[in-house]
Homo-oligomer: A and B are copies of this chain.
Amino acid sequence: MKSYITEALANFFFEYETPRQVLVRNRRVGIVCRLIQLGVLVYIIGWVFIYEKGYQTEDTAIGSVFTKMKGVAYTEISGEKRVWDVSDYVYPDQGDESFVVMTNFIITMGQTQSTCPELPDGKNTCNSDEDCMKGQFKRTGNGHMTGKCVNTTKTCEIMSWCPIEDDRQIPDPPRLLAAENYTLFIKNSITFPEFNVIRSNLVEGVDQSYIKTCLFDPEKDPLCPIFRLGDVVRLSGFSFPQIARVGGAIGILIDWECNLDLSIQKCIPKYRFHGLYGSSEGDSGQASVGYNFRKAKYYVEDKVEKRTLMKVFGLRIDIIVHGLARKFDIIPTLTAIGSGVGIFGVATVVCDLVLLYLLPKRDFYKNMKFKYTTVLDEEPEMQLEKVDQRKE
Protein backbone atom coordinates (compact mmCIF):
# COMPACT_ATOMS: atom_id res chain seq x y z
CA MET A 1 0.00 0.00 0.00
CA LYS A 2 2.72 2.39 1.04
CA SER A 3 4.70 1.77 -2.10
CA TYR A 4 1.59 2.46 -4.12
CA ILE A 5 1.21 5.93 -2.56
CA THR A 6 4.92 6.58 -3.02
CA GLU A 7 4.62 5.68 -6.62
CA ALA A 8 1.56 7.87 -7.14
CA LEU A 9 3.38 10.79 -5.53
CA ALA A 10 6.48 10.16 -7.60
CA ASN A 11 4.34 10.01 -10.71
CA PHE A 12 2.70 13.26 -9.77
CA PHE A 13 5.95 15.07 -9.10
CA PHE A 14 7.98 13.69 -11.94
CA GLU A 15 5.29 14.09 -14.50
CA TYR A 16 4.25 17.23 -16.24
CA GLU A 17 1.26 17.90 -18.43
CA THR A 18 1.34 20.23 -21.36
CA PRO A 19 -1.45 20.68 -23.88
CA ARG A 20 -0.88 19.28 -27.35
CA GLN A 21 -1.16 21.88 -30.00
CA VAL A 22 -1.70 22.02 -33.71
CA LEU A 23 0.69 24.34 -35.40
CA VAL A 24 -1.30 25.66 -38.32
CA ARG A 25 0.81 26.95 -41.18
CA ASN A 26 -1.55 29.41 -42.79
CA ARG A 27 -0.57 32.96 -43.56
CA ARG A 28 -3.95 34.58 -43.23
CA VAL A 29 -4.95 32.84 -40.01
CA GLY A 30 -1.47 33.27 -38.62
CA ILE A 31 -1.39 37.02 -39.20
CA VAL A 32 -4.92 37.58 -37.90
CA CYS A 33 -4.16 35.61 -34.82
CA ARG A 34 -0.81 37.19 -34.09
CA LEU A 35 -2.34 40.64 -34.54
CA ILE A 36 -5.08 39.83 -32.05
CA GLN A 37 -2.53 38.50 -29.61
CA LEU A 38 -0.35 41.54 -30.15
CA GLY A 39 -3.34 43.78 -29.46
CA VAL A 40 -4.02 41.99 -26.20
CA LEU A 41 -0.37 42.26 -25.23
CA VAL A 42 -0.23 45.97 -26.05
CA TYR A 43 -3.43 46.49 -24.09
CA ILE A 44 -2.13 44.67 -21.04
CA ILE A 45 1.30 46.26 -21.01
CA GLY A 46 0.46 49.67 -22.43
CA TRP A 47 -2.85 50.44 -20.91
CA VAL A 48 -3.29 48.37 -17.77
CA PHE A 49 0.32 48.64 -16.65
CA ILE A 50 1.69 51.91 -17.98
CA TYR A 51 -1.35 54.15 -18.44
CA GLU A 52 -3.67 52.99 -15.67
CA LYS A 53 -0.86 51.75 -13.45
CA GLY A 54 -2.63 48.46 -12.75
CA TYR A 55 0.34 47.26 -10.73
CA GLN A 56 -0.41 49.71 -7.94
CA THR A 57 -2.84 49.82 -5.02
CA GLU A 58 -4.70 52.97 -4.14
CA ASP A 59 -5.35 54.73 -0.88
CA THR A 60 -7.42 57.84 -0.27
CA ALA A 61 -6.19 60.55 2.05
CA ILE A 62 -7.63 61.85 5.26
CA GLY A 63 -6.86 65.47 5.63
CA SER A 64 -7.06 68.32 8.01
CA VAL A 65 -7.10 72.02 7.18
CA PHE A 66 -6.26 75.26 8.97
CA THR A 67 -7.01 78.66 7.46
CA LYS A 68 -6.06 82.19 8.35
CA MET A 69 -7.37 85.39 6.76
CA LYS A 70 -5.53 88.70 6.66
CA GLY A 71 -6.72 92.15 5.73
CA VAL A 72 -8.52 95.23 7.01
CA ALA A 73 -11.57 97.02 5.62
CA TYR A 74 -12.83 100.52 6.24
CA THR A 75 -16.42 101.69 6.06
CA GLU A 76 -18.17 104.99 6.49
CA ILE A 77 -21.89 104.45 7.10
CA SER A 78 -24.01 107.55 7.75
CA GLY A 79 -20.95 109.44 8.92
CA GLU A 80 -19.71 106.75 11.27
CA LYS A 81 -16.23 105.58 10.38
CA ARG A 82 -15.25 102.06 11.22
CA VAL A 83 -12.42 99.65 10.65
CA TRP A 84 -13.12 95.91 10.26
CA ASP A 85 -10.42 93.41 11.08
CA VAL A 86 -10.32 89.59 10.88
CA SER A 87 -12.14 89.09 14.19
CA ASP A 88 -14.94 91.27 12.86
CA TYR A 89 -15.52 89.69 9.47
CA VAL A 90 -14.60 85.99 9.66
CA TYR A 91 -17.01 83.39 11.09
CA PRO A 92 -16.00 81.27 12.93
CA ASP A 93 -12.76 82.60 14.39
CA GLN A 94 -10.67 79.51 14.83
CA GLY A 95 -9.59 78.85 11.25
CA ASP A 96 -11.84 75.97 10.22
CA GLU A 97 -11.87 74.39 6.79
CA SER A 98 -15.29 75.92 6.21
CA PHE A 99 -15.76 79.59 7.04
CA VAL A 100 -17.48 82.77 5.94
CA VAL A 101 -15.89 86.08 5.01
CA MET A 102 -18.41 88.87 5.46
CA THR A 103 -18.59 91.17 2.43
CA ASN A 104 -21.88 92.93 3.05
CA PHE A 105 -24.30 93.25 5.95
CA ILE A 106 -27.52 94.74 7.25
CA ILE A 107 -27.16 95.79 10.86
CA THR A 108 -30.01 96.24 13.35
CA MET A 109 -28.77 97.86 16.52
CA GLY A 110 -30.19 97.59 20.01
CA GLN A 111 -32.91 94.97 19.61
CA THR A 112 -34.78 94.16 22.80
CA GLN A 113 -37.53 91.71 23.68
CA SER A 114 -40.60 93.92 23.26
CA THR A 115 -43.49 94.59 20.92
CA CYS A 116 -43.41 96.36 17.60
CA PRO A 117 -45.19 96.20 14.25
CA GLU A 118 -44.17 93.66 11.63
CA LEU A 119 -42.16 94.80 8.66
CA PRO A 120 -44.48 96.21 5.93
CA ASP A 121 -43.01 93.95 3.26
CA GLY A 122 -46.36 92.93 1.85
CA LYS A 123 -46.46 89.48 3.47
CA ASN A 124 -47.88 90.53 6.84
CA THR A 125 -50.49 93.21 6.08
CA CYS A 126 -53.60 93.54 8.21
CA ASN A 127 -56.69 95.68 7.99
CA SER A 128 -58.06 95.25 11.48
CA ASP A 129 -57.21 93.53 14.74
CA GLU A 130 -59.11 90.44 13.58
CA ASP A 131 -56.36 89.72 11.05
CA CYS A 132 -53.85 89.37 13.89
CA MET A 133 -54.84 86.40 16.01
CA LYS A 134 -53.43 86.86 19.50
CA GLY A 135 -50.80 84.31 20.53
CA GLN A 136 -50.37 82.93 17.02
CA PHE A 137 -47.37 82.91 14.68
CA LYS A 138 -47.43 83.44 10.99
CA ARG A 139 -45.00 81.37 8.91
CA THR A 140 -43.94 84.56 7.15
CA GLY A 141 -43.74 86.54 10.41
CA ASN A 142 -41.02 87.19 12.92
CA GLY A 143 -42.78 86.69 16.24
CA HIS A 144 -45.81 86.16 18.42
CA MET A 145 -48.80 88.31 17.46
CA THR A 146 -50.31 90.44 20.21
CA GLY A 147 -53.67 90.75 18.47
CA LYS A 148 -53.30 94.39 17.46
CA CYS A 149 -53.12 95.78 13.95
CA VAL A 150 -50.90 98.84 13.85
CA ASN A 151 -52.46 101.63 11.79
CA THR A 152 -49.33 103.41 10.61
CA THR A 153 -47.71 100.37 8.99
CA LYS A 154 -50.85 98.32 8.34
CA THR A 155 -49.12 95.27 9.83
CA CYS A 156 -49.75 93.19 12.95
CA GLU A 157 -48.03 94.06 16.18
CA ILE A 158 -45.79 91.28 17.37
CA MET A 159 -43.79 90.37 20.42
CA SER A 160 -40.24 89.76 19.22
CA TRP A 161 -36.74 91.20 19.17
CA CYS A 162 -37.67 94.78 18.30
CA PRO A 163 -37.17 96.74 16.15
CA ILE A 164 -37.61 94.17 13.38
CA GLU A 165 -34.75 93.88 10.91
CA ASP A 166 -35.47 95.59 7.61
CA ASP A 167 -33.73 93.48 4.96
CA ARG A 168 -35.77 94.65 2.00
CA GLN A 169 -32.80 96.42 0.48
CA ILE A 170 -29.36 94.86 0.26
CA PRO A 171 -26.68 97.58 0.38
CA ASP A 172 -25.22 98.23 -3.06
CA PRO A 173 -22.27 98.55 -3.55
CA PRO A 174 -21.40 95.99 -0.87
CA ARG A 175 -20.04 97.60 2.28
CA LEU A 176 -16.84 95.58 2.52
CA LEU A 177 -15.80 95.56 -1.11
CA ALA A 178 -12.24 95.82 0.19
CA ALA A 179 -12.54 92.09 0.91
CA GLU A 180 -11.25 91.58 -2.63
CA ASN A 181 -7.73 92.26 -1.33
CA TYR A 182 -7.87 90.09 1.78
CA THR A 183 -5.51 87.15 1.68
CA LEU A 184 -6.22 83.60 2.77
CA PHE A 185 -3.50 81.31 4.05
CA ILE A 186 -4.24 77.57 3.92
CA LYS A 187 -2.35 74.90 5.80
CA ASN A 188 -3.29 71.37 4.81
CA SER A 189 -2.02 68.13 6.21
CA ILE A 190 -2.90 64.76 4.70
CA THR A 191 -2.34 61.19 5.78
CA PHE A 192 -2.42 58.06 3.67
CA PRO A 193 -3.06 55.55 6.43
CA GLU A 194 -2.34 52.45 4.34
CA PHE A 195 1.06 53.67 3.20
CA ASN A 196 1.85 55.48 6.45
CA VAL A 197 2.68 58.72 4.63
CA ILE A 198 2.02 62.17 6.09
CA ARG A 199 2.36 65.19 3.85
CA SER A 200 1.73 68.92 4.19
CA ASN A 201 0.94 71.50 1.52
CA LEU A 202 4.02 73.38 2.66
CA VAL A 203 6.08 71.13 0.39
CA GLU A 204 9.77 71.40 -0.39
CA GLY A 205 10.50 74.86 -1.72
CA VAL A 206 7.55 76.46 0.08
CA ASP A 207 9.46 77.75 3.10
CA GLN A 208 8.97 80.68 5.46
CA SER A 209 10.69 83.24 3.25
CA TYR A 210 8.71 82.18 0.15
CA ILE A 211 5.41 82.32 2.04
CA LYS A 212 6.13 85.84 3.24
CA THR A 213 6.11 87.26 -0.26
CA CYS A 214 4.25 84.87 -2.56
CA LEU A 215 0.68 85.01 -3.84
CA PHE A 216 -1.06 82.09 -5.50
CA ASP A 217 -1.15 82.19 -9.27
CA PRO A 218 -2.26 79.15 -11.29
CA GLU A 219 0.64 79.62 -13.71
CA LYS A 220 3.46 81.28 -11.86
CA ASP A 221 2.99 80.25 -8.22
CA PRO A 222 0.82 77.12 -8.24
CA LEU A 223 2.17 75.96 -4.88
CA CYS A 224 1.93 79.20 -2.91
CA PRO A 225 -0.62 78.58 -0.11
CA ILE A 226 -1.61 82.27 0.09
CA PHE A 227 -4.65 83.29 -1.95
CA ARG A 228 -6.04 86.72 -2.73
CA LEU A 229 -9.81 86.55 -2.22
CA GLY A 230 -10.47 88.36 -5.48
CA ASP A 231 -8.44 85.75 -7.36
CA VAL A 232 -10.33 82.89 -5.72
CA VAL A 233 -13.64 84.42 -6.79
CA ARG A 234 -12.40 85.08 -10.32
CA LEU A 235 -10.99 81.56 -10.74
CA SER A 236 -14.35 80.14 -9.63
CA GLY A 237 -16.05 82.02 -12.45
CA PHE A 238 -17.86 84.63 -10.36
CA SER A 239 -17.78 88.41 -10.54
CA PHE A 240 -16.55 89.83 -7.23
CA PRO A 241 -18.88 92.85 -6.92
CA GLN A 242 -21.91 90.65 -7.57
CA ILE A 243 -20.97 87.85 -5.18
CA ALA A 244 -19.87 90.35 -2.55
CA ARG A 245 -23.31 91.97 -2.53
CA VAL A 246 -25.49 88.88 -2.05
CA GLY A 247 -22.95 86.30 -0.97
CA GLY A 248 -21.97 82.98 -2.46
CA ALA A 249 -20.27 79.68 -1.78
CA ILE A 250 -16.96 78.66 -3.24
CA GLY A 251 -15.15 75.36 -2.95
CA ILE A 252 -11.37 75.30 -2.95
CA LEU A 253 -10.40 71.77 -3.90
CA ILE A 254 -6.95 70.68 -2.84
CA ASP A 255 -6.19 67.78 -5.10
CA TRP A 256 -3.37 65.42 -4.21
CA GLU A 257 -2.52 62.74 -6.74
CA CYS A 258 0.59 60.95 -5.62
CA ASN A 259 2.59 58.15 -7.18
CA LEU A 260 4.53 56.93 -4.17
CA ASP A 261 6.78 54.76 -6.35
CA LEU A 262 8.40 58.03 -7.39
CA SER A 263 10.06 60.50 -5.06
CA ILE A 264 7.80 61.81 -2.30
CA GLN A 265 8.80 65.30 -3.43
CA LYS A 266 6.65 64.84 -6.53
CA CYS A 267 3.58 64.42 -4.31
CA ILE A 268 2.35 68.01 -4.48
CA PRO A 269 -1.11 69.54 -4.24
CA LYS A 270 -3.10 71.15 -7.03
CA TYR A 271 -5.57 73.89 -6.14
CA ARG A 272 -8.87 74.12 -7.99
CA PHE A 273 -11.79 76.49 -7.49
CA HIS A 274 -15.47 76.13 -8.26
CA GLY A 275 -18.83 77.47 -7.22
CA LEU A 276 -21.01 75.40 -4.89
CA TYR A 277 -24.75 74.86 -4.45
CA GLY A 278 -25.91 75.51 -7.96
CA SER A 279 -29.63 75.80 -8.52
CA SER A 280 -31.25 73.53 -11.05
CA GLU A 281 -31.50 76.39 -13.50
CA GLY A 282 -27.83 77.36 -13.50
CA ASP A 283 -25.03 75.68 -15.39
CA SER A 284 -23.97 73.27 -12.64
CA GLY A 285 -23.87 76.02 -10.04
CA GLN A 286 -21.12 77.99 -11.66
CA ALA A 287 -23.19 81.14 -11.78
CA SER A 288 -25.43 80.64 -8.76
CA VAL A 289 -25.00 83.24 -6.04
CA GLY A 290 -26.61 84.06 -2.69
CA TYR A 291 -25.43 83.18 0.79
CA ASN A 292 -26.41 84.81 4.03
CA PHE A 293 -27.05 84.09 7.69
CA ARG A 294 -27.90 86.07 10.77
CA LYS A 295 -25.54 86.62 13.68
CA ALA A 296 -26.49 88.23 16.97
CA LYS A 297 -24.15 89.90 19.45
CA TYR A 298 -25.78 89.97 22.87
CA TYR A 299 -25.10 92.56 25.57
CA VAL A 300 -26.73 93.97 28.64
CA GLU A 301 -27.46 97.68 28.90
CA ASP A 302 -29.19 99.27 31.86
CA LYS A 303 -30.05 95.76 33.12
CA VAL A 304 -31.85 94.98 29.87
CA GLU A 305 -30.61 92.24 27.53
CA LYS A 306 -30.11 93.64 24.08
CA ARG A 307 -28.60 92.38 20.89
CA THR A 308 -27.15 93.71 17.70
CA LEU A 309 -28.40 91.62 14.81
CA MET A 310 -26.30 91.35 11.68
CA LYS A 311 -27.60 89.84 8.49
CA VAL A 312 -24.29 88.75 7.06
CA PHE A 313 -23.78 88.32 3.32
CA GLY A 314 -20.47 86.79 2.49
CA LEU A 315 -18.26 84.35 0.77
CA ARG A 316 -18.58 80.93 2.26
CA ILE A 317 -15.38 79.08 1.50
CA ASP A 318 -15.18 75.31 1.85
CA ILE A 319 -11.74 73.80 1.63
CA ILE A 320 -12.21 70.30 0.24
CA VAL A 321 -9.32 67.88 0.35
CA HIS A 322 -9.12 65.02 -2.13
CA GLY A 323 -6.11 62.77 -1.98
CA LEU A 324 -5.27 59.61 -3.89
CA ALA A 325 -1.96 57.81 -3.58
CA ARG A 326 -0.77 54.81 -5.55
CA LYS A 327 2.04 52.44 -4.83
CA PHE A 328 3.34 49.19 -6.30
CA ASP A 329 1.75 46.12 -4.83
CA ILE A 330 2.10 42.47 -5.81
CA ILE A 331 -1.62 41.61 -5.59
CA PRO A 332 -3.00 43.98 -8.25
CA THR A 333 0.04 43.20 -10.40
CA LEU A 334 -0.65 39.48 -10.40
CA THR A 335 -4.39 40.01 -10.72
CA ALA A 336 -3.76 42.13 -13.82
CA ILE A 337 -1.39 39.52 -15.26
CA GLY A 338 -3.81 36.70 -14.47
CA SER A 339 -6.76 38.38 -16.09
CA GLY A 340 -4.51 39.34 -19.01
CA VAL A 341 -3.71 35.68 -19.57
CA GLY A 342 -7.46 35.06 -19.47
CA ILE A 343 -7.97 37.61 -22.22
CA PHE A 344 -5.21 35.87 -24.22
CA GLY A 345 -7.46 32.84 -24.05
CA VAL A 346 -10.22 34.91 -25.63
CA ALA A 347 -7.85 35.75 -28.49
CA THR A 348 -7.29 32.04 -29.13
CA VAL A 349 -11.04 31.41 -29.09
CA VAL A 350 -11.58 34.13 -31.70
CA CYS A 351 -8.83 32.71 -33.95
CA ASP A 352 -10.32 29.24 -33.60
CA LEU A 353 -13.69 30.53 -34.75
CA VAL A 354 -12.03 31.95 -37.87
CA LEU A 355 -10.10 28.75 -38.46
CA LEU A 356 -12.92 26.30 -37.92
CA TYR A 357 -15.90 28.12 -39.37
CA LEU A 358 -14.74 30.73 -41.88
CA LEU A 359 -11.83 29.25 -43.81
CA PRO A 360 -12.50 27.13 -46.91
CA LYS A 361 -10.29 24.35 -45.54
CA ARG A 362 -12.16 24.30 -42.26
CA ASP A 363 -12.90 20.56 -42.33
CA PHE A 364 -9.23 19.81 -42.65
CA TYR A 365 -8.46 21.94 -39.59
CA LYS A 366 -11.30 20.42 -37.62
CA ASN A 367 -9.78 17.02 -38.17
CA MET A 368 -6.42 18.31 -37.13
CA LYS A 369 -7.72 19.89 -33.96
CA PHE A 370 -10.28 17.42 -32.75
CA LYS A 371 -10.18 13.74 -32.03
CA TYR A 372 -13.63 12.21 -31.77
CA THR A 373 -14.83 9.44 -29.53
CA THR A 374 -17.90 7.40 -30.31
CA VAL A 375 -21.05 7.99 -28.32
CA LEU A 376 -20.13 5.79 -25.43
CA ASP A 377 -23.61 5.14 -24.18
CA GLU A 378 -23.54 2.71 -27.07
CA GLU A 379 -21.06 -0.10 -27.26
CA PRO A 380 -17.62 1.41 -26.92
CA GLU A 381 -15.62 -0.32 -29.55
CA MET A 382 -12.62 1.90 -29.95
CA GLN A 383 -13.96 3.11 -33.25
CA LEU A 384 -12.24 6.40 -33.71
CA GLU A 385 -12.38 8.67 -36.64
CA LYS A 386 -9.35 9.57 -38.59
CA VAL A 387 -7.38 12.00 -36.57
CA ASP A 388 -3.72 11.67 -36.92
CA GLN A 389 -1.52 10.61 -39.66
CA ARG A 390 1.66 8.84 -39.09
CA LYS A 391 4.86 9.42 -40.86
CA GLU A 392 7.76 7.36 -39.84
Contacts and interface: CB of A to CB of B under 8 A. Distances in A.
B87 A296 contact: yes
Nearest to A100: B94
A79 interface: no
Chain A at the B interface: SS class: mixed
A8 interface: no
Nearest to A205: B280
Contact of A300 (B94, B203, B306, B392): B306
Interface in A353-384: 355, 361, 364-365, 368-377, 380, 382-384
Contact of A87 (B187, B294, B345, B361): B294
Interface in A119-162: 137, 141-144, 159-161
A43 interface: yes
A81 interface: yes
Interface residues of A, number: 153
Contacts of A92: 91-92, 94
Given A83-B143, A385-B391, A388-B390, A341 B346 contact: yes
A158 to B, nearest CB: 8
Contact of A320 (B23, B62, B309, B382): B62
A239 interface: no
A248 to B, nearest CB: 11
A64 B249 contact: yes
Given A18-B355, A189-B251, A342-B342, 15 more contacts: A20-B369, A25-B373, A26-B373, A28-B377, A74-B137, A74-B143, A85-B143, A94-B100, A193-B322, A202-B278, A299-B300, A301-B303, A341-B342, A341-B345, A389-B392
